[in-house]
């Protein structure tokens, strides 16, 4: 049965069967025992034409909440330049496989090399890999390296780490016999901090880093890459490994995925880095080229002895980030960060001025902050605002709200927000 995606006609199929030397397609499946054959049609909805499919998908999309987004918590509504979708929409990029055949994949390979360089310049670290699944699993991979390098099995989570990240860290820790503890002891493999932390506050990375070093533990910092437009690099505070969620760099929110996890570290851990790494080399004529390198670390070579099982990562999302950082450039990224900072503080002040919110913290914050709603049940105001096309934030326990303000939010939107809660 030819469909739009299956080219061969019945006549061609018959010709092919004759060339193979069998009478029917059925004969090609003779190795499958009768007892395990499915002798009925799969119970699936009927096939749809392209037009019907688009209408159905649009209807599904229309069921979702939409509008002005003040929710953050690791996934942010930043502006994405049109150039990003233009580039990642090229089939040579999005439909290609992992660049095993280097000479046929110089496009992917060079962009990863450029990505690695940009991530290092952003974080202040020496080397970067080609990406991991997300910010949470990037923390996990860093934690596993720390346990391996130090031969210790305790992990300390310093300050307010994203609850989803804690959940993922706990899952992996359970299966790898690592313990999450509160105190930095002589058995501590790593201290993990997040900056800005889950509530948007800036952590004292210097002090945390020194406490980790004092006990010989690795210092792992999870960061919002946008914040590095103005914030000091984690490297300056002694970080050994810097990770984070890269979605904010040119990727839509997409209900939380796909974004990508970035991973950068000191050169000392080069041979422990998980996943793909691209390196520079030359061909026989001395011409520069790029390829996947240090593959002896990876699962397809080391199998059960590999430090990580990662194979597919989030390459296309990392490419989006590379294009994003190229468009923004040195000045643009700083401006994005500056706009977030200014606007977040404007809304913070405006909401406190309503008298319906109380502050939760006093530490400095970047683009996100947590408040307690004192004007009634937060869920009531949340639902009203949602129905009016605005997501006011993420509801926290004890009638709290976590509010993120990106450069996309306008003064007018924020004034509407403040009026809505009055």
Partner 1 sequence: MNQVIFEKSIPGRSAYSLPACDVPARKTEDLIPNQMLRANVAELPELSEVDVLRHFVGLSQKNYGVLSGIYPLGSCTMKYNPIVNERVAGLDGFTGTHPSMDCPGNLRLMGELQAMLAEITGMDAVTLQPAAGSHGEMTGLMIMKAYHEKRGEPQRTKILVPDSAHGTNPASVTMAGLQTVQIKSDLSGNVDLDDLRAHIDGQLAGLMLTNPNTLGLFEVNIQEIAALIHAAGGLLYYDGANQNAICGITRPGDMGFDVIHLNLHKTFSTPHGGGGPGSGPVGVKQALVPFLPVPTVVYDDGSYRFGGDNPDSIGKVRSFYGNFAIMVRAYAYIRSMGAQGLKAVSENAVLNANYLMAGLRDFMKIEYDRTCMHEFVASGLPQKEQGVSTLDIAKRMLDYNVHPPTVYFPLIVREAMMFEPTETESKQTLDALVETMQTILTEAAENPELVKTAPHNRPVGRLDELKAARKPVLTWDQRTP
Site residues (CB under 8 A) for partner 1, limited to 144-183: 162, 164-165, 167-168, 170-172, 174-177
Determine if 333 is a binding residue for partner 1 (CB under 8 A).
Answer: yes
Shortest spacing between CB 130 and partner 1, in angstroms: 7
Please, which residue, 71 or 156, has the CB nearer to partner 1?
Answer: 71
Please, which residue, 215 or 297, has the CB nearer to partner 1?
Answer: 297
- Residue from 223, 239, 316, 385 that binds partner 1 (CB under 8 A)? 316
Shortest spacing between CB 63 and partner 1, in angstroms: 3
Q: Counting Cβ atoms within 10 Å, is residue 240 exposed (0-12), middle (13-18) or buried (19+)?
A: buried
Please, which residue, 104 or 353, has the CB nearer to partner 1?
Answer: 104
Unique residue bearing structure tokens 């993922």 = 168
Shortest spacing between CB 362 and partner 1, in angstroms: 13
Determine if 198 is a binding residue for partner 1 (CB under 8 A).
Answer: no
Shortest spacing between CB 188 and partner 1, in angstroms: 20
**Could you tell me how many residues of this chain bind partner 1 (CB under 8 A)?**
201
Separation in Å, CA 202 to CA 100, 205, 225: 41, 8, 14
Separation in Å, CA 360 to CA 46, 72, 121, 194, 371: 53, 17, 34, 18, 5
| Residues 6 or more apart in contact with residue 72 via CB below 8 angstroms | 200, 367, 368, 393, 394, 402, 403, 404, 406
Give the number of C-alpha atoms closer than 13 A to the C-alpha of residue 224, restricted to the C-beta side.
Answer: 34
- Please give the Cα distance from 117 to 264 (Å, whole number): 10
Determine if 96 is a binding residue for partner 1 (CB under 8 A).
Answer: yes
Determine if 326 is a binding residue for partner 1 (CB under 8 A).
Answer: yes
Determine if 289 is a binding residue for partner 1 (CB under 8 A).
Answer: yes
Please, which residue, 136 or 378, has the CB nearer to partner 1?
Answer: 136
From the list 85-93, 145-153, 184-192, 369-377, the region that binds partner 1 by CB under 8 A is 85-93
From the list 51-59, 146-154, 183-191, 371-379, the region that binds partner 1 by CB under 8 A is 51-59
Q: Check whether the bond before 328 is cis (ω within 30° of 0).
A: no
Q: In Å, how far from its chain's centre is CA 263?
A: 11
- Residue from 185, 207, 210, 254 that binds partner 1 (CB under 8 A)? 254
Scanning residues 62 to 81, which ones bind partner 1 (CB under 8 A)?
Answer: 62-66, 69, 71, 73-75, 77, 79, 81
- Residue from 23, 268, 311, 358 that binds partner 1 (CB under 8 A)? 311
Scanning residues 373 to 412, which ones bind partner 1 (CB under 8 A)?
Answer: 386, 391, 394-395, 407, 410-412
- Please give the Cα distance from 277 to 318 (Å, whole number): 13
Q: Which two tokens stand for residue 80?
A: 């994405």
Separation in Å, CA 34 to CA 26, 28, 38, 39, 204: 12, 13, 9, 9, 66
- Residue from 194, 222, 314, 406 that binds partner 1 (CB under 8 A)? 314
- Residue from 335, 360, 372, 416 that binds partner 1 (CB under 8 A)? 335
Q: Counting Cβ atoms within 10 Å, is residue 325 exposed (0-12), middle (13-18) or buried (19+)?
A: buried
Please, which residue, 127 or 188, has the CB nearer to partner 1?
Answer: 127
Determine if 116 is a binding residue for partner 1 (CB under 8 A).
Answer: yes
Determine if 22 is a binding residue for partner 1 (CB under 8 A).
Answer: yes
- Residue from 182, 183, 186, 305 that binds partner 1 (CB under 8 A)? 305
- Please give the Cα distance from 251 to 139 (Å, whole number): 20
Determine if 226 is a binding residue for partner 1 (CB under 8 A).
Answer: no
Q: Which two tokens stand for residue 372?
A: 């307690």
Q: Check whether the bond before 10 is cis (ω within 30° of 0).
A: no
Scanning residues 267 to 286, which ones bind partner 1 (CB under 8 A)?
Answer: 270, 276-285
Asked if 297 contacts 307 with a C-beta cutoff of 8 angstroms, the reply is: yes
Asked if 318 contacts 112 with a C-beta cutoff of 8 angstroms, the reply is: yes
Q: Which residues make beta-bridge pairs with 219?
A: 191
- Residue from 10, 33, 182, 422 that binds partner 1 (CB under 8 A)? 33
- Residue from 23, 94, 353, 384 that binds partner 1 (CB under 8 A)? 94
Closest alpha carbon to 73 in 368, 284, 360: 368
């Amino acid at each position: 049965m030819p469909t739009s995606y299956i080219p061969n006609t019945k006549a061609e199929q018959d010709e092919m069967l004759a060339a193979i030397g069998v009478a029917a397609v059925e004969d090609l499946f003779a190795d499958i025992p009768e007892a395990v054959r499915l002798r009925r049609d799969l119970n699936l909805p009927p096939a749809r034409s392209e037009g019907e499919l688009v209408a159905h998908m649009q209807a599904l999309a229309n069921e979702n909440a939409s509008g002005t987004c003040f929710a953050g918590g690791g996934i942010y509504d930043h502006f994405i330049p049109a150039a990003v979708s233009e580039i990642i929409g090229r089939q040579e990029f999005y439909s290609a496989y992992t660049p095993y055949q280097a000479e046929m994949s110089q496009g992917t390979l060079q962009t990863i090399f450029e990505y690695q360089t940009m991530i290092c310049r952003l974080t202040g670290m020496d080397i970067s890999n080609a990406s991991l699944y997300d910010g949470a699993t990037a923390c996990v991979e860093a934690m596993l390296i720390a346990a391996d390098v130090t031969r210790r099995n305790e992990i300390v989570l310093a300050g307010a780490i994203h609850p989803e990240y804690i959940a993922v860290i706990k899952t992996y820790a359970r299966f790898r016999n690592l313990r999450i503890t509160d105190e930095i002891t002589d058995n501590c493999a790593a201290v993990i901090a997040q900056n800005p932390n889950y509530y948007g506050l800036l952590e004292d990375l210097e002090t945390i880093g020194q406490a980790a070093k004092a006990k010989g533990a690795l210092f792992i910092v999870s960061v919002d890459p946008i914040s590095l437009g103005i914030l000091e690099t984690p490297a300056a505070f002694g970080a050994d490994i810097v990770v984070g969620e890269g979605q904010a760099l040119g990727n839509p929110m997409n209900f939380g995925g796909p974004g990508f996890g970035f991973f950068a570290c000191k050169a000392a851990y080069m041979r422990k880095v998980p996943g793909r790494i691209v390196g520079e080399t030359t061909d026989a004529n001395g011409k520069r080229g790029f390829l996947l390198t240090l593959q002896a670390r990876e699962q397809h070579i080391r199998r059960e002895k590999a430090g990580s099982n990662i194979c597919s990562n989030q390459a296309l999302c990392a490419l989006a980030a590379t294009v994003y950082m190229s468009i923004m450039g040195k000045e643009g990224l700083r401006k994005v960060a500056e706009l977030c900072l200014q606007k977040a503080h404007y809304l913070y002040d405006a909401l406190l001025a309503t008298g319906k919110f109380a502050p939760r913290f006093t530490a400095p914050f970047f683009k996100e902050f947590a408040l307690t709603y004192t004007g009634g049940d937060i869920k009531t105001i949340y639902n009203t605002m949602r129905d009016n096309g605005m997501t006011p934030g993420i509801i926290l326990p004890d009638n709290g709200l976590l509010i993120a303000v990106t450069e996309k939010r306008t003064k007018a939107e924020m004034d509407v927000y403040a009026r809505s809660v009055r």
